[in-house]
Amino acid sequence: MSIETLVFEQFSEYKGQIDHFITTRNGGVSTPPFASLNLGNMLHDNHEAVLKNRAIVKDALGCQRLFIADQKHTNKVFSITENNVEEYLKMENPFPESDGMITNVKNIGLLTLAADCTPILLFDPIKKVIGAVHSGWKGTVLKILTKAVEQMVTDFDSEVKNIKISFGPFIKEANYEIGKDVIVQYEDAFPNDIDKILLPHINPEKAYLNITEAQKSQCSALGILKENIEFLPFDTYTDERFFSARKASPGQTGRFGGAIVLR
């Protein structure tokens, strides 16, 4: 069974070193409203269907094991190394209460799930390190991307100038209305760029959230080179190829994903 995927231009030049893709909702076995390549939300979708969909993605990526973080809107990132990978391979849920994974182990696939949140893939072609990060509004406030990059530096000796970061589809600012409780957290987290991140709303107690600018702010603070940053332009709220939690009834949507493996 073939699946519909998207790729990042900056990663495509490293064919033979990594494989990667962003999935859509097409090519799986789940039934509506999770049709069809739902990779998450086992609470509401059929458990076996989700496992089958994950197997489809694993086969498409071509990897020994497809690791997925627990995804609890944290800023916790796990480092997978030759020293600990065998232990992780024995576990059913090796990365609890976490939203990111980085590794230098070959043929271990990393998959991050999303449905309006941002799936982020990272690659250092010099040290041969990859990463997959889930960044919703909470993870962005907690700066999980910053945590992942810093961990690549400390755990794998990466240099920031060599790290390439690619952002998959997420909900764009025109459809991302937030309230005061979220506004104040972003004001605290991004004081220097807040005018670009929070856009005016007709209701003074609300704002439109520009996740693109929040991620760019982190990249700038880290020293990520502009030529090493890539955003896919698609809005998950309006693009029917992707699952959108905001647009669906509560609990009634699936998850697409971003996957990467080191060769």
The dihedral over CA atoms of 141, 119, 73, 105, expressed in degrees to the nearest 10, equals: -110
Does residue 189 fall inside a structural domain? Answer: no
Does residue 31 fall inside a structural domain? Answer: yes
Give the up-direction half-sphere exposure of residue 32: CA atoms within 13 A in the CB hemisphere: 1
Residue 251 has pLDDT above 90, yes or no: no
Mean pLDDT of the region 110-139:
98
Residue 179 has pLDDT above 70, yes or no: yes
Does residue 214 fall inside a structural domain? Answer: no
- Quote the CA–CA distance of 5 and 7 in Å, as a whole number: 7
For the chain, the domain total comes to 1
User: Comparing C-alpha atoms, which of 239, 233, 195 is closest to residue 214?
Assistant: 195
Could you tell me how far CA 222 lies from the centroid of its own chain?
18
Which residue range is the domain that position 233 belongs to? 5-170+226-262
Q: What's the confidence (pLDDT) of residue 55? A: 97
Q: What is the DSSP letter of 164?
A: E
Tell me if 253 sits within 8 A of 41, measured CB to CB: yes
Does residue 204 fall inside a structural domain? Answer: no
In the block, tokens 């502009």 appear at 226
Residue 114's identity, in one-letter code, is: A
- By percentage, how much of the chain surpasses pLDDT 70? 100
Q: What is the DSSP letter of 249?
A: P
Average confidence score pLDDT of the chain: 97
Q: What's the confidence (pLDDT) of residue 2? A: 78
Residue 212 has pLDDT above 90, yes or no: yes
Mean pLDDT of the region 191-198:
98
Cis peptide bond prior to 33, omega within 30° of 0: yes
Q: What's the confidence (pLDDT) of residue 1? A: 58
Task: Measure the CA angle with vertex 132, ends 175 and 180; round to 5°.
Answer: 35
78 forms beta bridges with 101
Mean pLDDT of the region 138-154:
98
Does residue 24 fall inside a structural domain? Answer: yes
The dihedral over CA atoms of 42, 90, 20, 24, expressed in degrees to the nearest 10, equals: -10
Supply the pTM of this predicted model. Answer: 0.98
Query: Tens digits of per-residue pLDDT, 36-60?
Result: 999 998 889 999 999 999 999 999 9
Does residue 197 fall inside a structural domain? Answer: no
Does residue 190 fall inside a structural domain? Answer: no
Q: CA dist 103 to 47, 63, 91, 124, 261, Å?
A: 28, 14, 17, 10, 9
Mean pLDDT of the region 16-24:
98
- Quote the CA–CA distance of 151 and 26 in Å, as a whole number: 34
Residue 185 has pLDDT above 80, yes or no: yes
Does residue 209 fall inside a structural domain? Answer: no
Domain of residue 132, CATH code: 3.60.140.10
